[in-house]
Structures are given as C-alpha cells and as structure tokens.
Amino acid sequence: MTGTRISNSLWRVFPLLGIGLAAAAADHLTLAGGEARLSGNVVSINESGVVELTTELSPEPLLLRDGVVEKIEFSARGKPSDPPATLIGLANGDLLPATIERLDSHHLSVVSPDAGRLDIPRETVRSIQTGIRRRKVVFEGPNNLDEWTTTDEGRKNLSFENGIISANGPTSFSTKLPLPRQFILRFELIWQERQTPNFQVYFADPLLARGEPGDRYYLQFGGAGLEIKREASRGKRFNTIVILNRTRDQFPDNRMRIELRVNRDTARLELLIDGESEGEFADPIAGIPDGSGIVFVSNTSNGVRQQFRGIEVLEFDDSRSRHRAEDRGDPARDSLISREDDRWSGELTEILPTPKGLVFVFKTDFQDAPMEIPESDVSTVFLAGGKNTDAKQAPHPFVIRLPGEGSLRVSSCRIGGEKITASHPLLGPLAIRREGIASIERTPHPAEPTPEP
C-alpha cells in the first residue's frame, strides 16, 4: 500500500478543515478522541488495520495507522433498499436483519441482503423478531428556510447552506407537522469552539402565542448541562423530567446528536445522545401534550454562531423494542409473543416455508398437537439457547452498523473493493457488501482487570 503517512501535526488542523471538505458523496471519518474529522473516499482497510483514504487534503492517499480512526460513516451509493422485516438477536447481543428460510433443531437458515445466505447454529440465536418495517418519514431536512416560520427580526440572524441552518445570534424557527401519537425526533446541534452552547428545542408544541402557557415538552442544553422539561397549561407550569450533567467539554468536536422517542399513549420519552440511550422517562403531568409543532431556539449573543442539521421526524412503534427488552420468562424454554400480546412457553420445533408464507410450529405444555402460527401473527420469539458464553467474552474491536437496526461486533475487518470482510465470533467469516454498511466503529479497549490481593 502506497500513500502519505499522516503526521500528528496535520491532525490538529483537521477540525478547522473538516466541514469545508465534506462533500455529499464522501465517506466521513472520526479520528481518535473525536477531536478531528476527515472526509474523502475510504479505499481499503488492510489486515493490519491501516485505513487508506483519498482526500482533497493530499495528492497521495493518506494512510491512517491502526487505532487512529474511531468511526467510518460510509456515503450512500444509490437509493438504499428496505431492510428485511426480521431481526435476529444473537447470544452475544448482536442484531442481524435477515429473511428467514427455515429453522430446525440444529440451524436457523437466513438470507441477509448484504452478507448472503447464513446457517446460524440454533444455540447461538437468542431471539427472532418479525414484522419490522422501515419507519415512515414525516420530515427530513432542513431543506431551506422557507419551510420554517420565524419573525422578521429572527430571520435576520438565520442563514441556510448545505443542509445546515445557522443562527448568528438570538433567533427561533418553527414548523407544524402531522406528528403521530408516537414519533421520533432527531437533530444535531453544533456550536462554536470555546463558546458556551445555549439551545432550546420544543416538541409536541401547540404553537400558541408567545408567552401563553401550553402543554408541551422542551429540551435545553447550555452551560449547566442538559435538561428535558414539561410545560403545563394548568398548575405548576414548568416541571423537570430529567437533568443530565452533559457539559460542552464532554463533546470535543462541539456537536451533539439528539434522538427523542416520544410515546404519547404511554406518556413516556426516551433520550439518546450520540446513539447511546440515556434512559426512558415518564411524563409526570396529566393531560399529554397533543400539539404538532417543533421549535428550534438559539439563545446566544449577536455574532455567536450555532447550527442545526440532520432534522428528522419519523413514525415510532415501540412494541418491537418493548417486546425485545421485556422479561422472557424461563430461559430454559422457548417463548413466543404474538402481535396481539398473547404469550406462550414451550418449544419452537420448526419454522417452515409454505405457499402462504412462513409457519412457526410451537409446542406448548397445554396442548397435545403443536400450534402452527403464521409469521404475520408472530411478534417476538425467545429461544432457549445463548449457551455460547465464550462468544460474549471474545474480543471484538469493531462494530459494523447495518440498516434496519443491525449491529455486528467483529474481531477483524478489511475493505477490498466493494466487499468488507470480517470475522464474527458466532457467524464466522463474513463478506458484506460495502454499500449495505452504514458505518464501522472501533469499540473502546476494555479496562485491564484489577489484580486480586
């Protein structure tokens, strides 16, 4: 492999250059510590973990030694296809989107659109979740300033370029959307280096006149940390749902990716920061907000820039995550949950293909003949297995993220052409289409065990 070895002095300038170099079709790399980013085309990752990158920074490819790159986000190469409607949970906690062919007493045979046909030993399968569909997109942007409502004074401090809304001083902008009862709101906040961020984001907002009390939620992030509050139209007006000690120095690249999962039927919210869940929280006030507005607020002095990008609103069905996370019962028995929340314990003897689709053959203790349940009636199956404890302890320095909530932890990873080859502790050698991978991340090194006295 030939190319230019990257130097430590060059790393320090990347935070200043990264945004300007980010082309729409470029791969995006986050370097060690998250303090620097690069954009370009990832040509290869060799057996030693060296990443070869072509970029406008250098006439020769850059060679980034093993351990320098923490995350590679691959650019979309064509319209993404819908992921399979089934999610396979493995004994080590990994998730594989795939289409089931059949299950017998020894193997689960599946087809992955990106990794091909796989025969997975039954004892390494922990769960099967069916009927998963791509979440409907309610909004994806920002696309321009005209799709947002603001005041004449506020518009003076707003600008739009390359999918980013910049606020240069105090301002706000809002929109009204057909928000479902359950929805996901995602966005990224960016602030200037050495400046204290000051953001507010209102959601499920009735968009009343300024200062009028209303039932709504809002998130605020500033010098004191991050907080989600509930505003009420009656009684105590402002009520804290969660406070987190998240300060700007915990985000060395001066940006934060937020995901809010809101279920107004159960009065619960989940918060994710940079892809990691911070927990699920209950709304403490009766009368759930039923507004459809979203408002973004920048509370800074004139000339201090803050930015908003990657704003998405999607439909949210929490039944799949709820079923996957709930108590499965006796781990020595198989258990099945239907779409109607019926539950059985026993043995899943087979999954068979039929002219009308897959049939789950399930034997309970209460019937002599096994039940034959169409796939369309099945939500989640937990298998008595997961006995391969060695797989849970196997080193897996890389995580491959796949569309459809898929994630695979692998012990090695190599890019060559349009294929990414990897070694998985349960699935064995894998060859995955590059265009089917959303990102590759390096997991933190585990702490050394403390010696016993």
Who contacts 165 (Cβ-Cβ below 8 Å, separation ≥6)? 142, 145, 148, 158, 159, 173, 296, 307, 308, 309
How far apart CA 100 and CA 108 sit, in angstroms, is 8
Position with higher pLDDT, 13 vs 61: 61
Distance CA 333, CA 360 (A): 16
- Which is more confidently placed, 32 or 114? 114
Question: For the chain, how many helices (H) and strands (E)?
Answer: 5, 37
Residue 25 confidence (pLDDT) above 60 = no
Most confidently modeled of 11-15, 170-174, 367-371? 170-174
Let me know: does 97 contact 114? Beta carbons within 8 Å.
no
Distances in Å between the Cα of 66 and the Cα atoms of 71, 292, 331, 333, 367 are: 12, 47, 40, 44, 57
Per the document, the length of the chain is 453
Residue with structure tokens 């390359």? 162
> pLDDT category, 6, cuts 50, 70, 90?
low
The CATH T-level fold of domain 1-79 is SH3 type barrels. (2.30.30)
- Residue 431 gets which letter from DSSP? E
Facing residues of 358 across strands? 353
Residue-wise pLDDT tens digits, 327-344: 566 788 999 999 888 899
The residue-averaged pLDDT of 24-36 equals 71
Give how far the C-alpha of residue 129 lies from the chain's centroid of Cα atoms, to the nearest Å.
18
Phi, then psi, of 78 in degrees rounded to 5: 100, 170
Structure confidence at residue 195 (pLDDT): 93
Residue 195, Cα to own-chain centre: how many angstroms?
28
More confident residue, 449 or 439: 439
- Are residues 375 and 359 in contact, defined by beta-carbon separation less than 8 angstroms? yes
CA 96, 102, 103, 106 torsion: positive or negative? negative
Alpha-carbon dihedral angle through residues 389, 394, 420, 133, given to the nearest 10 degrees = 40
**Residue 15 has what pLDDT?**
38
In the chain, what are the domain boundaries? 1-79, 90-132+334-408+423-433, 137-316
Residue 21 has pLDDT above 50, yes or no: no
Which residues does 215 contact at the CB level (< 8 Å), separation at least 6? 204, 206, 231, 232, 233, 285, 287, 288, 289, 290, 291
Tokens of 126: 């922990």
User: Rounded CA gap, 291 and 144, in Å?
Assistant: 23
Q: Report the amino acid identity of residue 452.
A: E
Digit-coded pLDDT (tens) for 37-46: 788 888 888 7
- Bridge-based pairing of strands 69-73 and 439-442 is antiparallel
The enclosing H or E element of 97 equals strand 95-97
What is the reported pLDDT for 319?
58
**C-alpha to C-alpha distances, 257 to 197, 222, 277, 322, nearest whole angstrom:** 14, 15, 12, 23
Domain 137-316: homologous superfamily in CATH:
Exo-inulinase; domain 1 (2.60.120.560)
Q: Mean of the pLDDT values across residues 242-258? A: 90
> Mean per-residue pLDDT for 194-221?
95
Task: Classify strands 4-5 and 62-64 as parallel, antiparallel or unpaired.
Answer: parallel
Closest CA to 323 of 338, 333, 302: 338
pLDDT band at 364 (very low <50, low <70, confident <90, very high): very high
pLDDT at res. 18: 38
